[in-house]
Structure 1
Amino acid sequence: MQSHYFKINKYRKMIERARRIFLGKILVVGSINMDVIISLNTVPKAGESILCKEVSYACGGKGANQAGAIARLGFETVIFGAVGNDQYGEILLDNLKDNKIDMSRVEKIGDQTGVAYILLEESGENRIVVSLGANEKIKPKDIDLYVKPLLDEVDMVMLQLEIPLDCVEHIINLAKVQGVRTFVDAGPVRNCRIESLKNAWCVSPNETELGALFNREIKTETEMIKAAEQLINIGVECVLIKLGAKGCFYISREERIRKESYKVKVIDTTAAGDSFSAGFVGAVTDNKTIEEALVYASKCGAIAVTKKGASDSLPTKEAVESFEKLYML
């Protein structure tokens, strides 16, 4: 009887994994924030007071942005995160629902939802200051309760560093044991140790974040390769460095691929990195080659900069398919 049970359980898992490969189910664990966008001609200098052009609000947070992009690209999407018991929290939950994201695991913790204050210059460049709010109140026990049971159902886990770092490390290790790949968008670094990321499938910092991970300035491709190799030597399978307008750089033991960015009209760079990450993860989940995934990700990132705000600028599957016609200069 016991042998019969294990056979049934084995076949059930095989069927479940085959179903996941066909559907493409992605779990995003990360921050859920309200973005307060302050539009300026240029940011003030130290001690300078200036008038802004306007203040607007948009649903954001690196976790919610990536989940929104993944869902719009056509993948079954589940998110785990936290909001506060306030009006911002209700608005953000409604937005997740509108994007057809499974948000049944989102917790309400405390009184304050995370808020990102975005200084948006006329050039499209931005500077972001984040108040983490409920995002920072997530505990490893919440990961065991809400995330661990999902690991047998998903193809990939996407993470960022806007939740407590002990939770990030816990998820990476749980997923490794379960045989599920984790993609870690390495921002904001905030004293993250590279050893905490050693079981990740892919670590993806931008140029500044890569330097912060190693506590040194990194500018040249040689320096990037050296840093990426350090991550690979401790167990990370690949490193994807986001270089903004300069494109991206993928590094693994087997490959080094440099991809230039697409030229489009830049309105706001908010969520460009999140859209790029979502495009890469989605394409890999869809069994595309790494080179194909980088092309797809670059189109997603380029689409995001052509609109203002985070949620409104996220790419759709249809937009990516029509990229050359609609967006390229």
Structure 2
Amino acid sequence: MSIIVFGSLNMDLVVRSPRLLQSGETLIGSDFYMTPGGKGANQAVAAAKLGVLTEMIGRVGTDLFGLELLAELKAVGVGTDGVLVDATHSGVAMITVAATGENQIIGVFGANGNVDETDVERLRTKLLDTQLLLLQLEIPIAAVKQAAQIAHGLGVQVILDPAPVPTEAIAPLYPFIDILMPNEIEAGQLVGFPVTSPDTAAIAAGVLQQQGAKTVIVKLGAQGVFCATPDETFFVPAFPVAAIDTVAAGDAFAGGLTAALVEGASLRQAVVWGAAAGALATTKKGAQAAMPDRPTFNAFLTANGVI
């Protein structure tokens, strides 16, 4: 079975610094590199490297970044027939990574900002043979809503990573979403109070369910993952690793989660797989380059008593 990722493709411009910047401050960094990113493309790569048949729908620009972004997807087996080359620049993300592994990101959408109903129509033709649709919010929300509605109508499972959280309310999307999976910052932005622990994640998940969300997965970084379904709640502790870069941990989580779901695992097992993939991704620099392949992933699961 296959999945489709409908979302963003960016080139990440990454600077490593001793700590995150404060307003008006200048710091001397220790490293700079460019690496393919974008939440959509990251999640596509994360799933494909774990052996999931994956298609990408989105846009890149006519610049050299666009060529490289497509090449990197193809290199790991992601289908790119649905990626349009647009007459503008590709999306970019300016990322600062602190010595602690924490990060700050500023994105410039570029071609991602032009995604519209024509892209949704390309998606529609591919959904008939698809098990799962992964969505994020680095493309226009109107296109995301159309995609979710169509997939929901066809019985395709829809997962939304609500990042970045827009200024407009996204609750109208919830009826078309099977799984909503914010991190703690995004969950706090969605509910209007800080989410810093499993207890506050449980409260936030309850609020989101009252607003219409079905299953809510709140990623709490080094603490773990809280999940609330219509029938149960549970918490999965984080796997202990030596984290050096958390940039793509949430996207790796999406890859692990979808890989388990496509293989018929329970949601609880899928959350464990997501947590494992996210943990592994923090042990390497970069976004797509940090996504674990299946042998590495299986070895990690075995070493931690999961399989």
TM range (shorter): over 0.9
| 1:165–1:316 CA distance, 2 compared to 1 (3 A) | same
Report if aligned partners of 2:197, 2:223 keep a CA contact under 8 Å in 1: no
The more displaced of 315-324 and 253-262 is 315-324
Q: 2:247 aligned with 1:270, yes or no?
A: yes
| 1:129–1:102 CA distance, 2 compared to 1 (3 A) | same
Query: Larger C-alpha radius of gyration, 1 or 2?
Result: 1
Q: Secondary structure at the match of 2:81?
A: coil
| 1:31–1:310 CA distance, 2 compared to 1 (3 A) | same
**Distance (Å, rounded) in 2 between the aligned partners of 1:66 and 1:259:** 21
User: Which 5+ residue runs of structure 1 have no aligned equivalent?
Assistant: 1-23
Q: 2:167 aligned with 1:195, yes or no?
A: no
Matches within 5 A, 1:66-85: 66-85=43-62
**Distance (Å, rounded) in 1 between the aligned partners of 2:234 and 2:274:** 13
Letter in 2 for 1:49: T
**Residue aligning to 2:21:** 44
Report if aligned partners of 2:70, 2:80 keep a CA contact under 8 Å in 1: yes
Q: RMSD over aligned Cα, in angstroms?
A: 1.7
Q: Report how far residue 211 of structure 1 moved.
A: 1.6
Q: 2:65 aligned with 1:91, yes or no?
A: no
Report if aligned partners of 2:6, 2:57 keep a CA contact under 8 Å in 1: yes
Q: After superposition, what is the alpha-carbon deviation per residue over 1:144-175, rounded to whole angstroms, capped at 9, x for unaligned?
A: 2x101111110000011101011111111111
Out of 285, 294, 297, the residue aligned to residue 262 of structure 2 is 285
Q: Secondary structure at the match of 2:190?
A: helix
**Distance (Å, rounded) in 1 between the aligned partners of 2:39 and 2:303:** 26
**Residue aligning to 2:190:** 213
**Residue aligning to 1:256:** 233
TM-score where L is the length of structure 1: 0.88
Q: Report how far residue 227 of structure 1 moved.
A: 3.2
Q: After superposition, what is the alpha-carbon deviation per residue over 1:157-204, rounded to whole angstroms, capped at 9, x for unaligned?
A: 001110101111111111111111100011111224212232100000
Out of 183, 189, 200, the residue aligned to residue 159 of structure 2 is 183
**Distance (Å, rounded) in 2 between the aligned partners of 1:218 and 1:198:** 23
**Residue aligning to 1:103:** 80
TM-score where L is the length of structure 2: 0.94
**Distance (Å, rounded) in 2 between the aligned partners of 1:33 and 1:100:** 18
| 1:102–1:327 CA distance, 2 compared to 1 (3 A) | same
Out of 286, 295, 301, the residue aligned to residue 318 of structure 1 is 295
Q: Secondary structure at the match of 1:35?
A: strand
**Residue aligning to 1:6:** none
Paired residues, what number? 304
Q: Secondary structure at the match of 2:165?
A: coil
**Residue aligning to 2:42:** 65
Letter in 1 for 2:79: D
Matches within 5 A, 1:158-173: 158-173=134-149
Identity percentage over the alignment? Answer: 33
| 1:326–1:289 CA distance, 2 compared to 1 (3 A) | closer
User: Which 5+ residue runs of structure 2 have no aligned equivalent?
Assistant: none
**Distance (Å, rounded) in 2 between the aligned partners of 1:27 and 1:327:** 30
**Distance (Å, rounded) in 1 between the aligned partners of 2:12 and 2:39:** 11
